[in-house]
Amino acid sequence: MNRRKFVASSAAVAALGGDSLAVAQGTSAKRALMKLGCQSAPSNEKHFQYFARYGVRNVCGYPEIADGRLYATVEELKLLRDLGDRHKISIDCIAPPFLESSHVDQEKHPAIMLAQSPERDRDIEALQTLIRSCAAAGIPCIKYNMSILGVLRTGRSPGRGDATYSTWRLREAHPDPPLTRAGRGCRRRVGTNHVFPGTGDSGG
């Protein structure tokens, strides 16, 4: 037996034992910094009761927006926050009713991704209004996705227990899918189309 290796391994075991003892006694253990969150919809009483039942305390919310608008008002966002407060759930971000993780051919409001004016400018103004509403309502973040193809998947795969996983495998994908209504593009064209006026930022 190599005595040097034996001493080193014994020291490591002793160190682990000391940490375990400290955790058991609760003397120097640190709280976990992770939070259990969810971004599933809808944001209503029944779904928030479901979150609270399983200890989900941080969520992405989906405000109820009237009149088909693309932005929520301050009042609508405060109603969403009040719903969260009743269930001790924090609304850490919200999702607008467009710029979703969807295929551009299925998107109801594709003007930003397709560079279609004047609809594109209208949609950008709606997003700007939403940003101001969130600031006034105390919601710190907006979740959006500037996507042409959406979230690509080829099916589901079995996971642990009876769980199944959403899956993407290139070898199972369609080898030559048809072009979307965005047509054939290039990196330069996509970047130019997605520069928002007055910001200088590209949404690629």
Which domain, by its residues, includes 123?
A: 37-151
Please indicate, yes or no, if residue 93 is contained in any of the structural domains: yes
CB 142 within 8 A of CB 131: yes
The runs of H, that is alpha helices, within 2-44 are 3-25
Domain annotation covers residue 197:
no
What is the CATH number for 61?
A: 3.20.20.150
Q: What is the DSSP letter of 54?
A: T
CA distance 155 to 169: 9
Is the residue at 23 inside a domain? no
- Whether 30 is covered by a domain: the verdict is no
Residue 184 domain flag: no
Tell me if 94 is assigned to some domain. yes
pLDDT in tens, the chain (204 residues): 555 554 455 444 444 444 444 455 555 677 778 889 999 999 999 999 999 999 999 999 999 999 889 999 999 999 999 999 999 999 999 999 999 988 899 999 999 999 999 999 999 999 999 999 999 999 999 999 988 888 889 999 999 999 999 999 988 888 788 888 888 876 655 555 555 554 444 443
Residue 146 CA to residue 112 CA, distance in Å, equals 8
Asked whether residue 9 is assigned to any structural domain, the reply reads no
In angstroms, the CA 127 to CA 47 distance is 26
The number of folded domains in the chain is: 1
Q: Is residue 65, in this structure, part of any structural domain at all?
A: yes
